[in-house]
């Protein structure tokens, strides 16, 4: 969060980077800017990796806005308007003798530019760079987003970016203590290439407890957010949460999952038309995915304002130093009060994450460690699903307490928690005895409870296609009105709404729209 020079408004900075090229960083940056601008906010987007400048290509500009470095220093570089009202693009510096962009050596170049902007949001497209200036901009942003894709190279690059963030934070913390910094450099040089932060902390501790303490504390300060682009398969939808688990456990870094963006023909079509996705194809699946990511970002920013900019509490380093979880419940991520069905689902989820060749494990988990994790998962399955063995395990592991009072810390997703809180607060104001329920409102209620549409389908036995048609108000894809009324009543019961009110108002809306279409065609 940065206060503008005039004090007129609070400027929020969102940085998008952290992945290899082609995973969707430009797509996300531009369309987040469009979403915020459509809310009536003043927004500026900029390419901080000039050699990869391409934001202009989807904002209706024939060429990228460029200025000389002299004009930039003199403050003559003004954001230029785009085809989206309220959304402007910041020029980048170039060398007039070569007509090539100038790559700034330090992030201060961009920091100075950002400080002069009296806007609500600044979105930085960092590109695929891991230079010191790029890392600094990411760390200084209110929300830093890594974009990846469901493929090994992209995932490996994301983990490397997280490791680079940690090393940058550690270096900055020890800049004024030359001898301690040299100790850290020697330790890292002696470790295997790309050693994870917990291993670095453990090795430093062998030489100096004080420096190790600093290194461990800095590990807690690194927080990034994750968006998975180009999802095609159902399994791709679980990748983000799986990477969140792996990063937390083996890198000691928070990688908070914001959401996914589906692989969609609408994306490349809008690029060819030089239009932002949310303008050219706002009803496409990928556009709705981006809108949900944007809502979660707004929820995170609102939560930061409530906490005064403080980061959410995270687990102690001792619990996050790359060691295997202490208890079988922690292995599965379930509370001690978890029922058998919950444990079975958790076992299935952990087996999928830690199977041989699993995408989230790319470049992070060594084969010998993976075998130990797999063995612990099977031990948890065999012990916790056997009542006799489970009771004996509980008595030996927790001799001084009762299951009713002890619930292990579960890995939480701050973005989802913030989004749910924001949606629930909005719904508390929107829903009353006079509320007219629409498909969009039913979707909002479902999302506020963290419920996926497949869960409703499994419980109510209503086809997923029909549930989607109800939320999207695709009335042509629905059966007769009497069946729709029954479907809506079941959905309302599942969401703990008044079934009579929901069914009455929704079916009335369906009739009115159908009647209007009939009159129009007549």
Q: pLDDT tens, 81-92?
A: 899 999 999 887
pLDDT tens digits, 257-284: 999 999 999 998 998 898 999 999 998 9
Q: Is the pLDDT at 45 greater than 70, yes or no?
A: yes
For residue 4, pLDDT over 80 is answered with no
- Residue 318 above 70 pLDDT? no
Question: Does residue 119 carry a pLDDT above 90?
Answer: yes
Q: Is the pLDDT of residue 79 over 60?
A: yes
* Distance of alpha carbon 291 from alpha carbon 33, whole angstroms: 11
More confident residue, 12 or 112: 12
Task: Tell how strand 223-231 and strand 143-148 pair up.
Answer: parallel
Residue 122 and residue 90: Cα distance in Å, rounded?
Answer: 10
**What average pLDDT does this structure show over 27-38?**
96
Cβ-Cβ contacts under 8 Å for 314 (sequence gap 6 or more)? 220, 254, 320
Confidence of residue 412 (pLDDT cuts 50, 70, 90): low
Average pLDDT over residues 66-73: 69
The dihedrals phi and psi of 447, each to the nearest 5 degrees, come to -65, -35
Parallel, antiparallel or unpaired: strands 43-47 and 121-125? parallel
At 9 the pLDDT is: 67
Could you give the angle at the alpha carbon of 288 between the alpha carbons of 431 and 501, nearest 5°? 25
Q: What is the pLDDT of residue 110?
A: 72
Instruction: Classify residue 472 as exposed, middle or buried by CB count within 10 Å of its CB (0-12, 13-18, 19+).
Output: middle
Residue with the larger pLDDT of the pair 359 and 409 = 359
Q: In the structure encoding, which two tokens stand for residue 439, read together? A: 């498909």
Locus of tokens 């050699």: 51
Reported as a pLDDT band with limits 50, 70 and 90, residue 52 is low
**Between 415 and 150, residue with greater pLDDT:** 150
User: Residue 206: what pLDDT?
Assistant: 92
pLDDT at 520 over 90: no
Lowest mean pLDDT among 57-61, 242-246, 502-506: 57-61
Q: What is the mean pLDDT of residues 450-477?
A: 89
Please give the pLDDT value at position 320: 45
Structure tokens at 359: 């995408």
As given in the structure block, the two tokens for residue 294 are 């944007």
Query: Model confidence at 438, in pLDDT bands (50, 70, 90)?
Result: very high
Q: What's the pLDDT band for 411 if we cut at 50, 70, 90?
A: very low
Q: Write down the residue that tokens 């990411």 correspond to.
A: 138
Largest Cα–Cα distance of the chain, in whole Å? 85
- Chain-centroid distance of CA 107 in Å reads 24
For the record, the structure tokens of 282 come out as: 């706002």
Most confident of 38-42, 79-83, 460-464: 38-42
Q: Of all residues in the chain, what percent carry a pLDDT higher than 90?
A: 53
Predicted confidence band of residue 326 (pLDDT cuts 50, 70, 90): confident
Q: What is the mean pLDDT of residues 391-407?
A: 71
**What pLDDT shows up at residue 2?**
46
- Residue 435: is its pLDDT beyond 50? yes
Q: Mean pLDDT for the chain?
A: 85
SS3 at position 11 = strand
Q: Which residues contact 357 (CB under 8 A, 6 or more apart)?
A: none
- Say if residues 107 and 49 touch (Cβ distance below 8 Å): no
**Residue 372 scores a pLDDT above 90:** yes
Pick the residue with more confidence: 460 or 93?
460
Q: How far is 93 from 419, CA to CA, in rounded Å?
A: 38
Residue 476 confidence (pLDDT) above 80: yes
- Poorest-confidence range of 37-41, 94-98, 115-119, 491-495? 94-98
pLDDT-based confidence at 25, cuts 50/70/90? very high
Does position 321 have pLDDT exceeding 50, yes or no? no
Q: What are phi and psi of 336, to 5 degrees?
A: -65, -20
Residue where the block lists tokens 């508390």: 428
pLDDT at 406: 40
Please tell me what DSSP assigns to residue 50: G
State pLDDT tens for residues 170-201: 999 999 999 999 999 999 999 998 899 999 99
Distances (CA, A) of 30 to 11, 53, 91, 231, 381: 18, 12, 15, 19, 45
Secondary structure class of 223 (helix, strand, coil):
strand
Cβ–Cβ under 8 Å, residues 246 and 353: yes
């Amino acid at each position: 969060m940065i206060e503008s020079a005039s004090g007129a408004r609070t400027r929020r900075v969102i940085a998008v980077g952290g992945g290899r090229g082609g995973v969707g960083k430009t797509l996300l940056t531009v369309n987040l800017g469009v979403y915020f601008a459509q809310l009536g906010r003043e927004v500026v987007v900029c390419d901080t990796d000039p050699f990869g400048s391409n934001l202009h290509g989807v904002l209706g500009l024939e060429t990228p806005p460029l200025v000389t470095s002299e004009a930039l220093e003199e403050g003559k570089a003004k954001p230029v308007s785009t085809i989206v009202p309220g959304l402007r693009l910041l020029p980048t510096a170039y060398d007039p003798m070569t007509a090539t962009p100038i790559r700034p050596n330090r992030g201060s170049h961009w920091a100075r530019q950002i400080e002069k902007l009296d806007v609500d949001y600044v979105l930085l497209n960092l590109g695929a760079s891991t230079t010191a200036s790029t890392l600094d901009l990411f760390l200084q942003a209110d929300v830093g987003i890594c974009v990846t894709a469901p493929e090994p190279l992209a995932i490996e690059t994301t983990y490397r970016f997280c490791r680079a963030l940690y090393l940058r934070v550690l270096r900055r913390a020890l800049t004024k203590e030359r001898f301690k910094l040299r100790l850290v450099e020697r330790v890292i040089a002696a470790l295997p290439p790309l050693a994870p932060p917990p291993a670095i902390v453990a090795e430093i501790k062998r030489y100096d407890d004080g420096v190790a303490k600093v290194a461990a504390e800095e590990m807690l300060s690194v927080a990034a957010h994750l968006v998975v682009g180009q999802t095609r398969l159902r399994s791709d939808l679980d990748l983000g949460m799986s990477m969140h688990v792996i990063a937390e456990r083996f890198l000691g870094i928070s990688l908070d999952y914001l959401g996914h963006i589906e692989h969609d023909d609408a994306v490349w079509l809008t690029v060819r038309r030089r239009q932002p996705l949310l303008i050219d194809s706002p009803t496409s699946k990928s556009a709705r995915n981006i809108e949900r990511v944007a809502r979660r970002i707004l929820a995170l920013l609102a939560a930061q304002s409530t906490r005064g900019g403080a980061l959410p509490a995270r687990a102690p380093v001792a619990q996050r130093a790359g060691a295997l979880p202490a208890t079988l419940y922690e292995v599965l991520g379930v509370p001690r009060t978890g029922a058998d069905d919950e444990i079975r689902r958790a076992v299935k989820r952990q087996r999928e994450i830690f199977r041989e060749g699993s995408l989230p494990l790319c470049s992070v988990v060594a084969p010998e460690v993976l075998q130990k994790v797999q063995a612990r998962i099977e031990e948890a399955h065999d012990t916790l699903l056997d009542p006799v063995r489970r009771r004996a395990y509980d008595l030996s592991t927790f001799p001084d307490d009762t299951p009713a009072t002890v619930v292990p810390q579960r890995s939480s997703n701050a973005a989802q928690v913030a989004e749910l809180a924001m949606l629930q607060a909005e719904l508390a104001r929107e829903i009353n005895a006079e509320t007219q329920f629409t498909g969009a409102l039913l979707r909002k209620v479902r999302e506020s409870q963290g419920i996926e549409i497949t869960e409703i389908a499994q419980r109510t036995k209503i086809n997923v296609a029909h549930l989607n048609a109800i939320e999207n108000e695709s009335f042509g894809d629905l059966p007769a009105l009497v069946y729709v009324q029954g479907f809506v009543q079941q959905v309302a019961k599942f969401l703990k709404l008044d079934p009579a009110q929901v069914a009455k108002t929704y079916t009335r809306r369906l009739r009115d729209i159908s009647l209007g279409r009939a009159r129009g065609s007549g």
